[in-house]
Amino acid sequence: MNLHDVKGHYDVIISLGSACNPALQLNRLNLRSFTSSPLDWSYSPFLSDVNRLLQNKFHGYMQLKNMRLVDDSGEYVYFNDKMLKFPRQNLYRSNKSYIIQDTYYNIFSAHDFAIVPNKDWTAMYPKFKRNLDYRISRFMKKMLSSNSILFIRWGATYEEAIELQKTLSDLTKGQFKILILNPLEDIQVPTEVNWEIDNVCIVIDNVCIVNVPEDPNDILTWDYVLDGVLLRR
């Protein structure tokens, strides 16, 4: 499948990470039908962990017993979600927040626990968990009720893409497509990819893979790959 096949209308368009950038760009292009999904404002470096999370239907996700503080500087050393300035739109500005890791799924909270003087991050956990549970419930309902879904992921291996396709097939009832953007050094423009592995016969006809420049905030990249992608109102 190529980018031409991705064009069209969808009931819902969902970011699967790896960081906040896909969700930010969907916001910019007015391609979101609800405010946030469970992975929008987190960092998931490996799609294999997201696949496991989806396979488990988020069971045990961000349980307090599995969470640990990994950075309290507010400098986002693990992330690339710098302040953005979108044309004719308001600034997106990150608040200084703790970086908290879910050690079971290896997924990091980036913006949920604001750094407040003399206040431990765990004090904010009850409100965070209530919001997260609501997002998970809404996410799972959308997966079952939507006739057409586009999933977008920044960064994946071939094997992870195959696993994701199978996982989503088990979780959805309607049609879905997967758009994967793989950042590469020294690439100037997005380039479509045809992944082929010798001696392996696997069909990934609803997965589109595009090699893109490394900057996940590059507006030209997102405008190119999402050209013709529309949200059904």
- On whether the CB atoms of residues 181 and 153 are closer than 8 A, the answer is yes
Q: For residue 135, what pLDDT is reported?
A: 96
pLDDT in tens, 173-220: 999 999 999 999 989 999 988 765 444 444 457 899 999 999 998 999
How many distinct structural domains can be found in the chain?
A: 1
Q: For residue 197, what pLDDT is reported?
A: 43
> Which residue has tokens 């953007």?
181
> Which residue has tokens 């999904």?
37
Q: Which residues contact 81 (CB under 8 A, 6 or more apart)?
A: 19, 20, 21, 24, 94, 110, 217
- Provide the domain limits for residue 217: 3-231
pLDDT in tens, the chain (233 residues): 889 999 999 999 999 999 989 999 999 999 998 878 999 989 999 999 999 999 999 999 999 999 999 988 877 544 444 434 444 444 344 578 999 999 999 999 988 999 999 999 999 999 999 999 999 999 999 999 999 999 999 999 989 999 999 999 999 999 999 999 999 998 999 998 876 544 444 445 789 999 999 999 899 999 999 999 999 98
Whole-model pTM?
0.89
- On whether the CB atoms of residues 150 and 10 are closer than 8 A, the answer is yes
Rg (CA), the chain: 18
Of residues 49, 71, 72, 73, the one with CA closest to residue 62:
49
- On whether the CB atoms of residues 98 and 72 are closer than 8 A, the answer is yes
As given in the structure block, the two tokens for residue 131 are: 């919001």
- On whether the CB atoms of residues 171 and 33 are closer than 8 A, the answer is no
Helices (H), the chain: 3-6, 21-28, 47-55, 125-145, 158-171, 219-225
